[in-house]
Amino acid sequence: MTFFGQCLLTFLGMMNLIAFSLCGIDKWKAQHGLWRVPERILFGVAFLGGGVGFWIGMKLFRHKTRHLSFRILIPLAIVLWIILLVVLQLKWSLILA
């Protein structure tokens, strides 16, 4: 694996952990009537690479599952990252070498 690939996968792992954590934190805050994490932050983290973590958090915490925007945009973020990773690998072999 290339250095770039290692860095990218580490970044994606951290983003997914952050997204999963934010989903759990926001659910807890919703249940306790506290200040919530803004949706733009949740979507931003998902589109910065945390889509899988957020999707798992949605399912595990049963959070934001009824919101159509989350049911559409979170999978879209995942698909876009898959496309990006495939392109990086096929065109430039930047992930696995």
Q: How many CB atoms lie within 10 A of CB 86?
A: 11
- The whole-model pTM stands at 0.92
CA distance 92 to 97: 10
Residues with Cβ within 8 Å of residue 53, at least 6 apart in sequence: 15, 16, 17, 18, 19, 20, 23
Taking only the tens place, the pLDDT of each residue in 43-96 is: 999 999 999 999 999 999 998 999 999 999 999 999 999 999 999 999 888 788
